[in-house]
Every structure is written in C-alpha cells, then in structure tokens.
Amino acid sequence: MRGPHNIIRLIRTGATFERTGAMGVILDAFDAGPLLRITFRAVVWPFKWLGYKGDTTMPPAPRALTALGPAYIKFGQVLSTRPDVVGDELAAQLRVLQDKLPPFSMEEARQSLQAELGVTVDSLFASFSEPVAAASLAQVHKAHLADTGEPVAVKILRPGIEKAFRKDIDAFYFAARAIEVLSPASRRLRPMDVITHFEGVVMGELDLRLESSAAAEFAANTAEDAGFAVPQVRWHLSGRRVMTLDWVEGIGIGDNELLDQAGHDRRALSARVLQLFLNQALRDGYFHGDMHQGNLKVGANGDIVAYDFGIMGRIDEYTRRVYAEILFGFIRKDYQRVAEVHFEAGYVPADRDVEEFARALRAVGEPIFGMDASRISMARLLAYLFEVTERFGMETRTELILLQRTMVVVEGVARSLDPHMNIWESAKPIVENYIKESIGPKALLRDLGRTAMILTRFGPHLPRLAEDALIRLNNPAPEQKPRTKLAGLFWMFVGGAIVGGAVWISSLL
C-alpha cells in the first residue's frame, strides 16, 4: 500500500542515518554546504529515536544501509564503486555491501534448498560449506557434487527477501510521488518511472530461474571474448530460489594488493573491463547490469570471470547506434554531431538550440578529454551534467537508466584498478569497430536485407490485396473520388514493386 504510513518509513530512513552517524559521513562525502547540513539536521534530529540501531561493529554508512534493507543496500553498492564521488574511505567502507553482509543460518539455507529442489542437501552434495559470500538478496555456498565430486557454487535467496524488498519499494514510490507533487520541476526526471524501472529490474533478481537463463544467454554471447569467462549453469540443480553454477577460483577484482601479488597487470585489467562492457552493450545489446567488484573475479590465467546475472540490460539496435554515435562524437571531439544525435533521437526537446547544446557538451568533454582518471572530478562533472539536463529540458530516459548506471559502475571499477586510466583511449577501438560495422554502407546493406526478409513474408498476401483493391475500384463507396481510387491502385503496385525488389536484394545478400 502506497499510503501515508510510508511517511513514517521515510522519517525512519533519515533517523537511521542520523542515529548511526551516517548522515554526517555522507554529507561530508558529498561536500554539502552549511545550509543543507542545517536543514537536514533540523528535520531529522527530533526523530533520531525512531532510527534503527544497526550493527554497531560496522562503519556508519554501511551500518545504516544494511539496517534499512535490500533496496538501500543496492544504492550503497553503486556508491562503493565511485571513490571519485564519495571519497576513497567511504567507498572502501561501502564495499562490504557487495558480498560481505551478515549471512543467514545454515539451517535456513538447507531448508530453502530442500524445499526448492525436493531432495536433501546431503543427497546432492558430498560437501556443503558455510556461506562464502553474502549480499543483499542472496548468499553463496561452495559445494561438491555427490556423484562427480566437481565443485559448484550454490546461490540461495534470503528467506523473506521478497516481502522486505516490497516494503522498501513501497516507500520509494511514496517518496517519488511526493517529490512530483511538491516539486513540479522534478517531473522531467520522471521519479515514478525511475522507481518502476528499478522495481522491475530487482524483481527479476528474485527469480533465480530467470537469472539462470540470463547466465546461459550471456555465456553464449561472450563465448569468443578473449580474457572473459562465465560459469556454466547446472540446470538440474537450479530453481526459483536456488541456482547452481560451476565453481571458478579467482581473486576479487577489487583486491588490488592480491592482484599485484599474483602478478596480474591491473592497467590491462582496467582497460579490459571497460571494453568488455562496451562490447556487450554495443555488439550484443545485452550486458551485465551489475558489474561491481563483488561480481567480478580474476582467474589464475588472467581471465575476468563474471558472476551474479540477476540484473541484465537489453537495448535495441537503434539505441545502440545512438549511444555509439554519442561516444564516437566525444572521442573525436565532434560536439556538434553529439548534439545533433541527441536531437535526432529525441533526447532533447526540438525547440531548444542545437548550437547552444553543442557548446554545453564541449564544456563537458574538453576538461576530461585526454586526462587520466585521477585528474577528473567525477562529482563535479556529474553536477554539471545535471545542470545541462535541467537547462535543456532533458527528461529521464527510463530505457537508458540501467545502461547509464552500469557505465558509471564499470568506469568506477576500471578506475579502482588503474587510477590513471584514460577512458576515451580504452573505449576508442570498441566504439570505432562498432561504428564501422553498424553505421555505414555495410550496415545499410544488412538493414536492407533484413527489411527484404520481412517484406517477403507479405508476398502470399499480394494476390488478395490486389483483388480487394480491384473490387473497391469497381464498386466505389459513394463518397470516394476517382483520384483516391487511382491513388490506391497506384500504391498497391508500388507496394508490389517494393516487395519484388526486396526479394531480389535479399537473394543477392
């Protein structure tokens, strides 16, 4: 129920941040001004007693987010990849939210697995370990198959997680509606649509059958990608609340010290993780939507291994081309073309000035082009980008939310591996290759071929369409004019010619 009771939930959120000490930490991280600090404290402090106490052994920010629930933890996971936005210390503290949360009991894990698969743990596995990783929605156990002894990873959803998540989302909807009512200017950001999108994405994580399917499709798409691996799904040991994958040894991609000790080249890993994401998004239109450090490992052979396929993104080919043209324009410093692409795609209202928008984009691109990541203030850049979107009336594109969020996370992971990376240099070969393959004569011929295949499906209907047209021609409606009849017959023959031409093009391709 999205009713007024959610006011208490939102007040308790602020009170929890105040009680745990997270409010001051977060305000410091975002360099909030005195007025904002005073306002927050004045509103929240009287209700401090309503806040959750949380785990006192944890630092303030993760303590507050963990106490508040899974949706808040998801937000903290995103921030944990952005030390350039929240600072190194806070990012390191938030990283425990990725896979080091308190686990649920072994007894609950065994009961969940037996209820889902219909057999006991001991009949399936020769060994079944304590949790090796615990995140907001599920935890993972290492096990060995009873029949072959092969090691596998068994992922089990947290008991009652669906109800807890619904509770958080309910409050988020209430907050989004309140923002839209109290701040009409915020409606361009479409807060209700954003929450709806977030709900849909995470609800997919709560059915591990969908995640198993996503893992299988993702593995097929990336099978030929050098330096990347996806564990195989064990379908007979997977269900709605349980998923079993092959076990892969590796070092967490966020553990720089261990990576260095193992002799891995962090600069190469940094470039590769960004390039892998761009390949997935542009080439396949299907990408891992939760590529934070907790879901990536580096194998002994140097391969990047991905886990946790609950959040996957899909974008259509037109959007991929728009996205690639925007990136390519930035790489070439062709801000005029970047602006034009925004207008052509409808991302900026048509009544705005394209030249002025191009100048605003230049102010975004020039300060960061050619610089290594350590010299770029991402917090300042994001603040300016927000100003630009407001100035030019750009609405939130819900179909791009996950793509944009993942890009931010992936860039954060790449920065953590190599603080001096140049994102444009890393992106350039992938984007250039996609542009060459997807925007140009070769792509035009391929598009015509696809169009021809679609049009040929209507070939069997042409005799009937011609007969219907001739009948209407000989028996016109009283109000129908001869010119209209002739036009209809003309376009019928044009349609036939198009289909015939399409068939010919298709045969050539």
Per this entry, what is the length of the chain?
A: 509
Q: Answer whether 159's CB lies under 8 Å from 108's CB.
A: yes
* Burial (Cβ within 10 Å: 0-12, 13-18, ≥19) of residue 284: middle
Residue 255: strand, helix, or coil? coil
What's the rounded Cα separation, in Å, for the pair 398 and 451? 28
| Spatial separation of the C-alpha atoms in residues 322 and 335, rounded to whole Å | 14
Q: How many CB atoms lie within 10 A of CB 323?
A: 22
Q: Token pair of 507, please? A: 């045969």
- Contact in structure between 224 and 133 (CB atoms under 8 Å): no
Which stretches of 366-422 are DSSP H helices? 378-391, 401-417
Sheet harboring 125-134: ordered strands across? 125-134, 138-145, 151-157, 242-246
Sequence spans of domains, the chain: 5-99, 102-135+137-247, 250-439, 442-508
- Residue pair 155/208 in contact (Cβ under 8 Å)? The answer is yes
Give the position of tokens 């361009």. Answer: 188
3-state secondary structure string across 307-334: CCCCCEEECCHHHHHHHHHHHHHHHCCC
Which phi and psi angles does 397 have, rounded to 5°?
A: -100, 105
Taken in order 118, 121, 124, 129, is the CA torsion positive or negative? positive
pLDDT, tens digit only, all 509 positions of the chain: 455 666 777 788 888 888 888 877 777 766 666 776 777 777 777 777 778 888 888 888 888 888 888 778 877 776 776 665 667 778 778 877 777 788 899 999 999 999 999 999 999 999 999 999 888 788 999 999 999 999 999 999 999 888 888 877 887 787 777 777 766 766 666 777 777 777 777 777 788 999 999 999 999 999 999 999 999 999 999 999 999 999 989 999 989 999 999 999 999 999 999 999 989 988 999 999 888 888 899 999 999 999 889 888 888 888 888 888 888 888 788 889 888 988 888 888 888 899 998 998 888 777 766 666 566 555 555 555 666 776 777 766 666 777 877 887 888 889 889 988 887 788 888 888 888 777 666 666 666 666 666 666 666 766 777 777 777 777 765 555 544 444 544 444 444 444 444 434 433 44
Distance CA(174)–CA(157), nearest Å, equals 27
Catalytic residue among 84, 290, 308, 418: 290
> Does residue 290 have an active-site annotation?
yes
Q: Half-sphere exposure of residue 29, counting CA atoms within 13 Å on the CB side? A: 24
Helix (H, G, I), strand (E, B) or coil at 464: helix
The token pair that represents 42 in the structure block: 């004045």
